[in-house]
Structure formats: structure tokens, C-alpha cells
Amino acid sequence: MYTTYFDEYQKQLSEWQKQFSDWQKKFLDTCLENLPNMQREENLSEAFNKSLDFQEEIVKSFLEAQEKNNRMMLDAQKKFWEDYFERMRKKPTATASS
């Protein structure tokens, strides 16, 4: 009944988890890559701005993923309740047949 809908939800959730994992890896790789350079960095304001830009990108991406996840959850709930009321209207009640 809901198999294809929830399969699609699981697929999208897996994609979101993969994206989040990739962002974490990118963040850690960037930190480790820049660690030795920190001592030699002459232009601290430039390094600070680069770091801030990267943090902003991560936050925006994470918020976008949260928004998509929330939208999918609300769509799943909406679909469930629509189907529930549709099925309840189609079922004959026990008191009506008596």
C-alpha cells in the first residue's frame, strides 16, 4: 500500500545521510589539510574569512537537508491521513448493515 512511497522516502533519507557524511569528510579533510599551514599563515583575516565561508556553507547545507527531511515527514503524514480517511469512508460500518 505505502511501499513505493516509503521506499522513495528511504532512498531520499539515504542520499541525505550520504551528503551529510561527505560534508563531514570535507570539513575534516580541510581542517587537517590546513593544520600545518596555520603556523605559517601570514594573512589571518583571509584565513578567518575562508573558514567562515566554509562554516556558512556547511550550515546552509545542513539546514537545507533538515528542511527536506521535515517536508518529507510532513508529506508522509499527510499521505497517511488522506489514505486513512479515504479508506474509512469506503468501508461499510457494522451499524449500517444491521
Query: Is residue 61 within 8 Å of 16, Cβ to Cβ?
Result: no
How confident is the model at residue 17, as a pLDDT?
Answer: 79
Taking the CA atoms of 1, 72, 69 and 74 in sequence, report the sign of the dihedral they define.
Answer: negative
Please provide the average confidence, as pLDDT, over all residues in the chain.
79
**Residue range 16-47, pLDDT digits in tens:** 778 877 877 787 777 777 666 555 555 777 77
Banded pLDDT at 13 (limits 50, 70, 90): confident
Query: Is residue 5 within 8 Å of 76, Cβ to Cβ?
Result: yes
Alpha-carbon distance values, 80 to 57, 85, 91, 92 (Å): 35, 9, 16, 20
How confident is the model at residue 91, as a pLDDT?
Answer: 73
Q: What is the pTM of this model?
A: 0.46
Closest CA to 84 of 1, 6, 10: 1
Percent of the chain with pLDDT over 70: 78
